[in-house]
A = this chain, B = another copy of it.
Amino acid sequence: AQFAARQAAKEDYTRVVNSLKECYEKIRPLEETYKFDHFFSPCLTDAEFEAKPMVLLLGQYSVGKTTFIKHLIGRDFPGIRIGPEPTTDRFVAVMHGDQDQTIPGNALCVSADKPFTALSKFGTSFMSRMEASVCNSRALEFMTLVDTPGVLSGEKQRIGRQYDFPAVIDWFAGRSDRILLLFDAHKLDISDEFKTCIEALRGHEDKVRVVLNKADSVTPKQLMRVYGALMWSLGKVTGSPEVMRVYVGSFWDVPLRQDHENRALFESEAEDLLSDLRSLPRNSSLRKINELVKRARHAKVHAYIIAHLKAQMPTFFGKSSKQQNILKNLPQEFSKVAQKHQLALGDFPNPEGFRRIIQDYDLSKFPKLSEKAIRKLDTVLTEPIPALLRELRLHDPDDGTGP
């Protein structure tokens, strides 16, 4: 029964991904016609639609990030290194595959079938600190886990890393469906560097969960103090008034002592964390749908803007100076477009950014707006996508955020 359920979930997920790809095929022509990818973000690749929910693990060194992954996937992954000293020295995307294999960073960022091609922008010194570790595990069928180098303190972190660590974290955080912050109950000293790292997660608070690991290595009373101190510091560091969910336990293969005072608590916490991770595929589908809807709305607005500006261009002479003139008053032009086509001003781009890019184009060279392309995009928004959302809600009324 469990296997059947998993199989069904997998098929659901594949169906959503395929529907989304089909939807995007109806939007893409309009994007290409009006160079939307130059204004907004590159056209989506199949690998991005197919990407499994991504879970990012962050923490100071030796808190048990790598051990956590090993425990979750039930096996060693290629290249795994665990130890009491700083061990993991790179970002490792632990991904599903039938054959065990590690893919070095340079190869990874040119693999069109993996969602990491954009990482090349962080340069070669980052690429040598990134790899994918492919292996076969049931847990990996539903998610990709990203192991990270433990945050060190002082100069080792700030100068020792040859790449922009916070920027890389930010990139991964944006693409992750869940961010797990691990802490060690046995040595809870939050370094300034890790604080900076937590602050870099601003805006992604909804994805963040906290794990207070190795909780069985202190007495229940000590644990209470440690947990309290953790909440105290987190409350100070994060902007959000909402309390972050903390899972307290010991996440590795060594079984808990039978008579441990907190046994029941730790077991229930582990179960909560697992069911949170199990809900990710569904949440990830929701996230992808939402992002596609957002993209489609922006693409439509973008097409209307270009068409509107182009319509004001003269047929033969004085194009260049006329274009200069038109671009002078973009906010006003945007308002006209919004009014004429009943579009939300919130879907309009920032006029400054738009002007900077459009300057390099000749407005008159853009083709005329095809009402058919717009209608095609509109049908996507009004039919298949609402159907997908309905389906997801029907299949699982739980909101997936756990207790």
Contacts and interface: CB of A to CB of B under 8 A. Distances in A.
A235 B231 contact: yes
Oligomer copy total: 2
Given A220-B265, A221-B268, A235-B236, A228 B227 contact: yes
By size class, the interface of chain A is: 20 to 34
A233 interface: yes
A399 to B, nearest CB: 18
A15 B355 CA distance: 83
A227 B227 contact: yes
Interface string A213-227: 000000011001101
B224 A248 contact: yes
A309 B170 CA distance: 65
A230, A236, A248: which has the most chain B beta carbons within 10 Å? A236
A227 B229 contact: no
Contact of A243 (B228, B243, B248, B265): B228
Contacts of A228: 227-228, 231, 243, 246
B243 A232 contact: yes
Interface in A173-222: 220-221
A330 interface: no
A169 interface: no
Contacts of A230: 231
A234 interface: yes
Interface in A250-275: 265, 268
A243 B227 contact: no
A235 B227 CA distance: 13
Given A265-B221, A268-B221, A232 B229 contact: no
A233 B238 CA distance: 11
A228, A243, A248: which has the most chain B beta carbons within 10 Å? A228
Interface string A294-312: 0000000000000000000
Contacts of A221: 265, 268
A236 B268 CA distance: 29
Contacts of A265: 220-221, 224
Nearest to A233: B235
Nearest to A236: B235
Contacts of A268: 221
17 contacts: A221-B268, A224-B248, A224-B265, A225-B243, A227-B227, A227-B228, A227-B231, A228-B246, A229-B231, A229-B243, A231-B231, A232-B232, A232-B243, A233-B235, A235-B235, A235-B236, A236-B241
Given A228-B231, A232-B244, A235-B236, 16 more contacts: A220-B265, A221-B268, A224-B248, A227-B227, A227-B228, A228-B228, A228-B246, A230-B231, A231-B231, A231-B232, A232-B232, A232-B234, A232-B235, A234-B235, A236-B236, A236-B241
Interface of A: 220-221, 224-225, 227-236, 241, 243-244, 246, 248, 265, 268
Nearest 9 Cβ contacts at the A-B interface: A235-B235, A231-B231, A232-B235, A228-B231, A231-B232, A235-B236, A229-B243, A232-B243, A228-B246
